[in-house]
Structure 1
């Protein structure tokens, strides 16, 4: 049988045309009354059915695969009846109503009053965003954006036959506010596999279409040696479109903590403030933490950034598992970036949380201002960089230690020129020249003059000769690149304390540089030559391997450096650097330095493996002890892995192990399980830090999320098949 589209063809009796017009008009009002659409345009409804008949008493009946369309909304039913005399519209199921917003109604029958102001669905079910289904004995549409559901059961779990779902919320009445996108439950009971666990007289939850709204977030159960057994119960408060506040009480057997997180977005920036106010059995007085940051764009493209970190005691961050930081830095920064350079001004306050380190000796307060201009091309070709700098650091200590009393202010100007060109048979020649003048003001340290003027100059050239070979198969290309650099640097003026160049490092970038130190207090002196050889291979799939080996040779030893840096002697340590890239699957980078006797002074390796079913990242670090910085030998390995066991199970593990101390630093294992209606995460972690203020601690955490009520819900795995 061919379906007939409802229209008014020419030549038909007036009654037939008039009746069809009336039912089309009724449908145009019927669908908005039944379907949760806050605002609908006054479009035309269309009706398609296997047969349309009109009885003698002016009752129009559409039967068989009936489909009605109105403004993107679709209604499917078995029969639609319009009684002209009673001015009444009835729909017989099974009824299916879908909307462009993702809401789905199913029902056995529907009726509309003569004024079309309210709709009634019996034996109905409402599906929101294809996640949450609410079945009810009846659904009443008021026409005001509210839907009332009577004798309801709400769940996002698959329902198999007459058996209970994994979880459900039964209520005497549920009201769905489509404007606010909230669900209000009366006389609500929470059941797991049909067993009641919780009763609430009133409850409000967001529907899954709400991206951001006030309400309870995912609670988390935890237990730790420090805090005892407890619960985190976060509550999100929406303060308009650009502000929000998250209030999280921590209630534990040995601690009470109130966490407040405030966020606000502005037209030209954002800010976030996190505070913790705590009391626990480990301290007689209250404890606190303040963590805040933000960024703003000011007029003339100036950017402002700030970061504030403050705690009541050294152990707070570790006790409450907020961070592993052992130094805090609070910073205020202004900067402006341009095509020709940048301008920067910042001030930073440092606070040490280490047992063996005083905040006064860091130094605690450091200020810096600099302006850099880059000219391209420079008057002689190449690139000319001009820079002006002002640094200051202050200490305030009564200790009888010059390093904990000294204040230093430095003002300097520098110019650096760089250029390169191709010469000869494929040779690349790079040249560099730089010079700087610095003035120092040093107080509270008798070992140095109060005013010091110093100048430094340096010139250098680097020659590279890349040789290319294409393999016979044509699938890969190999390159062999000898590199040699020659430089000379000189310094005139008095001695100054080394405040900013204590962590010099030999790597692929510093091997061929004129200045190999991170700051300005320590400057290169004398002649030096960098010699290296790089071999690389790259195939057509983008995979590659690169190896660089080299060494630095000087005419004199460099003072002010630790032997552990590998740069202090006339002959530096050997440097071997490798980089392996196998596309999206595997990446490996290693850097190793060692002397002529093959005694390793430093080693670092980073591994990244990304596969469909698992991820793995690892790092290894080895550093020799340095008396200048007070650092002991560092030998540490860390691993972080995630294993995905199908669509539902996820297992993860993280760990850090201090090889030098033969002791673990931190370990964590976690497991997650999820299906279409619930997400469960459980984890166990152990922190081995043991100081005067911090003891080792083990903690466990458990969180359960009912999918279907969380805002901005991510896609869940497909529901499994029903057994039997």
Structure 2
């Protein structure tokens, strides 16, 4: 402990006010049977000191020793200075030295909202400096520091010895103490209150109490905000490039922009440079990532362990995505991916995708309408997959509008859709259709939910070079083709609700009948209805084909029930249903890869949105 300094005039004036307040408090205690009190450090008349310089206090008992020139407060002591507070069981103030000694269950809050818990602390009368033993620091910006001892200077900076730091909670949901899953231990830690930085000396990362990695020279912000500097290196071992080490330099350009540059060095190939730029604007956000290196291509069809490579050349990959919101209704969303060749992503273990899709979508959304103008481009990286057979979709236009009319029951929805697909070495297709749908939903007196649906649609298609499509059922007829579609349906649900095992269960039987006259299917090119499967998610759909190019015609009946059980922490859902279709025409029978009737089932359960599991079953029988 440092020797006491002779108090300066301003500090002495504050101490005199504190002594005057304590003396006044003693008189009040003598005149009043109550022990607990709260009083400000009142300045004498004519004192020009600011109220912010005063120290206020509360205590159950106050004792003043005029000979020893000290004041002692006991029991639920609270000291306040500006926005700082100290709570303790006992506080002793030495009027000569200006030191305040607090002991017992101390909780100290500084100007920045950081909280220090300890059993003993020494402070000045401005709460600025002091020595602390066995402390826990809870930073307002996140994180906790526990130390055997420490000191705090007049600026609020702390030096702590034998420290453990963690950003994890040290208490469970019931308030019981628990070990953090990770922590950083160090021989000494420096906390800069102004810069909000934590610097370590002799740091080690521990996972579940086990030393994992030494971290020499470690430092970070206490609130984990991003800052410019080098990141922790990354080590890997790969079959194609051997051992690799990556080091990233992060540049915090501004609060809304940053750049990360990564150099990766390999034992089996030349280095690679990676850059990632992110930008948050007033309209939205976007990011761009790029890779560049110089290496030889591994021939397609060979193993990564083979040493045969092509001529050294520049190779790379670029990826970008983002969204801009121009107004509450208008927005544009895009993402793009492009690789220099088909083996780059696999060789450097960047992605295992076999097709790289890029799109741009302009949307307008309001309460009753939706407009989308989009385009799609795909790059194939599959072996023996010609790029000329991969479609380019531009434009893809979809417009929908919901309408209701006074005096007319139900709701109408209008839709217009257009699609143009181009292949440089394959079939080209264009499509346009207009659809009108009417839905009337009513609740009967017995609680049944009945929905009546009527749908009409007119299609126009054009295709060329159909013979270049290898799958005959996808080709359609060349030239212009048209068709009309009409569908009528009735859907009835009858939910029953009741108590069950301390929770609530809902049993909902459901029956649906859908009728569609025979439709031209094989005459129409099939671009978006190629993946056909029947499951519980589309069992009650008007058209169980995905997309718009194929229509399920005929008459069919689907029936089943949904069962849901829910109680605190548990939710179980079950769906069982069966579909029976009356086949109309040869074409529809060949479109589906299953026979009727069909029984579908699904069981799923989840708890608190953190754990879920499910199972599906499909039973096929003869019609």
TM over 0.5: yes
- Residue 311 (structure 2) pairs with residue 311 (structure 1): no
C-alpha displacement at 1:575, in angstroms?
2.4
* Worse-superposed segment, 346-355 or 577-586: 577-586
Report the equivalent of 1:156.
165
Given that 2:77 and 2:91 are in contact with CA atoms closer than 8 Å, whether structure 1 keeps it comes out as no
Q: How does 1:95-110 map to 2 (within 5 A)?
A: 96=106, 98-99=108-109, 101-104=113-116, 110=122
> Structure 2: how far apart are the matches of 1:429 and 1:253?
67
> Structure 2: how far apart are the matches of 1:377 and 1:336?
23
Report the equivalent of 1:91.
100
Given that 1:190 and 1:196 are in contact with CA atoms closer than 8 Å, whether structure 2 keeps it comes out as no
Q: 1:61 to 1:356 in 2, by over 3 A?
A: same
Report the equivalent of 1:53.
64
Report the equivalent of 2:515.
486
Given that 1:459 and 1:489 are in contact with CA atoms closer than 8 Å, whether structure 2 keeps it comes out as no
Q: 1:45 to 1:485 in 2, by over 3 A?
A: same
1:60-79 deviation digits (Å, cap 9, x = unpaired): 33266684421352154866
> Structure 2: how far apart are the matches of 1:586 and 1:210?
32
C-alpha displacement at 1:480, in angstroms?
5.0
Q: 1:422 to 1:507 in 2, by over 3 A?
A: same
- Residue 405 (structure 2) pairs with residue 389 (structure 1): no
Q: 1:591 to 1:302 in 2, by over 3 A?
A: farther
Report the equivalent of 1:267.
282
1:110-153 deviation digits (Å, cap 9, x = unpaired): 4649xx696353768673436223556x635243x5x2638x44
Given that 2:57 and 2:78 are in contact with CA atoms closer than 8 Å, whether structure 1 keeps it comes out as yes
SS of structure 2 residue aligned to 1:497:
coil
- Residue 19 (structure 2) pairs with residue 8 (structure 1): no
> Structure 1: how far apart are the matches of 2:422 and 2:538?
30
User: How many equivalent residue pairs?
Assistant: 535
> Structure 2: how far apart are the matches of 1:577 and 1:76?
67
Given that 2:329 and 2:366 are in contact with CA atoms closer than 8 Å, whether structure 1 keeps it comes out as no
* Worse-superposed segment, 304-313 or 481-490: 481-490
- Residue 336 (structure 2) pairs with residue 326 (structure 1): no
Q: 1:99 to 1:287 in 2, by over 3 A?
A: farther
Q: 1:535 to 1:417 in 2, by over 3 A?
A: closer
> Structure 1: how far apart are the matches of 2:183 and 2:431?
68
Report the equivalent of 2:220.
205
Report the equivalent of 1:529.
555
> Structure 2: how far apart are the matches of 1:246 and 1:77?
51
Report the equivalent of 2:85.
73
C-alpha displacement at 1:387, in angstroms?
1.9
Report the equivalent of 1:438.
460
C-alpha displacement at 1:191, in angstroms?
5.9
Report the equivalent of 1:226.
240
> Structure 1: how far apart are the matches of 2:121 and 2:498?
75
C-alpha displacement at 1:198, in angstroms?
6.4
Q: 1:573 to 1:47 in 2, by over 3 A?
A: same
Report the equivalent of 2:489.
461
Unpaired segments of 5 or more residues in structure 2? 1-20, 29-37, 44-50, 171-181, 299-308, 469-474
> Structure 2: how far apart are the matches of 1:117 and 1:587?
56
Unpaired segments of 5 or more residues in structure 1? 13-19, 26-39, 159-164, 398-403, 567-571, 598-724
> Structure 2: how far apart are the matches of 1:65 and 1:239?
52
Given that 1:374 and 1:386 are in contact with CA atoms closer than 8 Å, whether structure 2 keeps it comes out as yes
* Worse-superposed segment, 214-223 or 269-278: 214-223
Of 230, 243, 258 in structure 2, the residue corresponding to residue 244 of structure 1 is 258
SS of structure 1 residue aligned to 2:313:
coil
Given that 1:170 and 1:189 are in contact with CA atoms closer than 8 Å, whether structure 2 keeps it comes out as yes
> Structure 2: how far apart are the matches of 1:308 and 1:379?
49
Given that 1:189 and 1:197 are in contact with CA atoms closer than 8 Å, whether structure 2 keeps it comes out as no
Q: 1:175 to 1:191 in 2, by over 3 A?
A: closer
C-alpha displacement at 1:420, in angstroms?
5.3
- Residue 435 (structure 2) pairs with residue 414 (structure 1): yes
Of 588, 598, 605 in structure 2, the residue corresponding to residue 575 of structure 1 is 598
1:695-715 deviation digits (Å, cap 9, x = unpaired): xxxxxxxxxxxxxxxxxxxxx
C-alpha displacement at 1:553, in angstroms?
1.9
Q: 1:90 to 1:21 in 2, by over 3 A?
A: farther
RMSD between aligned alpha carbons? 4.7
> Structure 2: how far apart are the matches of 1:487 and 1:320?
52
Given that 1:484 and 1:512 are in contact with CA atoms closer than 8 Å, whether structure 2 keeps it comes out as no
> Structure 2: how far apart are the matches of 1:272 and 1:102?
35
C-alpha displacement at 1:275, in angstroms?
2.4
- Residue 187 (structure 2) pairs with residue 170 (structure 1): yes
1:415-438 deviation digits (Å, cap 9, x = unpaired): 233445679996946342312142
Report the equivalent of 1:277.
292
> Structure 1: how far apart are the matches of 2:547 and 2:442?
29
Report the equivalent of 2:373.
345
> Structure 2: how far apart are the matches of 1:489 and 1:583?
42
Given that 1:456 and 1:489 are in contact with CA atoms closer than 8 Å, whether structure 2 keeps it comes out as no
Report the equivalent of 2:386.
358
1:219-254 deviation digits (Å, cap 9, x = unpaired): 544323234333444554433322233444444433
> Structure 2: how far apart are the matches of 1:591 and 1:81?
77
Q: 1:166 to 1:267 in 2, by over 3 A?
A: closer
SS of structure 1 residue aligned to 2:388:
helix
SS of structure 1 residue aligned to 2:255:
coil
Of 145, 167, 183 in structure 2, the residue corresponding to residue 132 of structure 1 is 145
Q: Which has the higher contact order (CA 8 A, sep 6+)?
A: 1
> Structure 1: how far apart are the matches of 2:153 and 2:499?
74
> Structure 1: how far apart are the matches of 2:559 and 2:329?
44
SS of structure 1 residue aligned to 2:345:
helix
Given that 2:138 and 2:144 are in contact with CA atoms closer than 8 Å, whether structure 1 keeps it comes out as yes
SS of structure 2 residue aligned to 1:411:
strand
Q: How does 1:645-684 map to 2 (within 5 A)?
A: none
> Structure 2: how far apart are the matches of 1:232 and 1:76?
50
